[in-house]
Amino acid sequence: CNIAKRVTRETGVEFDVVGFDTGAGMPPPVDYRDHPDLYAEGDFPLEDEGQLLGRLPGNAQILLGEVSATVPEFLRSNPAQIGFVSIDLDYYSSTRDALCLLAAADSSLYLPTTLMYVDDIQFREHNAYCGELLAINEFNEEPHLRRITPYNFLRKKRIFTRALWVDQIFVAHILDHPARGVAADPVTTTRVLDNPYLAAV
């Protein structure tokens, strides 16, 4: 929230920071796909809801309840354009339910390449057949034009190349976004690459 305020001061772009939480800790795991070897019902409870809500800055809110209910409710609230999504739900089932955030009918609700952070993929036990990675893979198989992929070559673009979080950054590609189509006013001049070796002859 503090970073958002600083960016607003520099750019004039305002941000809403919205969090989702059950308010009661983790629900029961559905099966092995929820990694019951790593997480259990009741983990990570909200110990003092009043204190937390009282400390939230003006640009933040928390929607309490199961994400299967609160995420669709959020989409119906006519939110501002979504530019970043952080997934830290541990379970496959919760992540699956939360990813409907990226499936709204109006593609202009998102940036054409919406950045994502995916938290629970770093342990040895995490894999493409359980947890958050499985939910992402299933999302990518659904019949829509939204796809989630790792951020290409991000490590090569960072100063701190050994930072673990670099491998946790993904991109939601909104392939049906208006910006992904043919430009309304396309450039009519053919682009040509100069060859410096020919120029030197």
What's the CA gap between 122 and 26, in Å, rounded? 19
What's the CA gap between 64 and 66, in Å, rounded? 7
pLDDT given for residue 186 in this prediction: 65
Checking if the pLDDT of 18 tops 90, the result is yes
pLDDT given for residue 184 in this prediction: 59
Look up tokens 């009043």; give the residue. 50
To the nearest whole number, what is the mean pLDDT of the chain? 93
What's the CA gap between 171 and 124, in Å, rounded? 23
What's the CA gap between 167 and 172, in Å, rounded? 15
pLDDT given for residue 187 in this prediction: 66
What's the CA gap between 81 and 75, in Å, rounded? 11
Checking if the pLDDT of 191 tops 90, the result is no
Provide the 3-class DSSP secondary structure of residue 54: helix
- Confidence tier at 76 by pLDDT (50, 70, 90): very high
pLDDT tens digits for range 21-48: 999 999 999 999 999 999 999 999 988 9
- Confidence tier at 75 by pLDDT (50, 70, 90): very high
Mode of pairing for the β-strands spanning 110-118 and 82-87: parallel
Checking if the pLDDT of 199 tops 80, the result is no
pLDDT tens digits for range 117-160: 999 999 999 999 999 999 999 999 999 999 999 999 999 988 88
Checking if the pLDDT of 165 tops 80, the result is yes
pLDDT given for residue 183 in this prediction: 64
What's the CA gap between 171 and 86, in Å, rounded? 11
Checking if the pLDDT of 52 tops 80, the result is yes
Mode of pairing for the β-strands spanning 17-21 and 60-64: parallel
The C-alpha R_g of the chain, in whole angstroms, comes to 20
- Confidence tier at 201 by pLDDT (50, 70, 90): low
pLDDT given for residue 193 in this prediction: 87
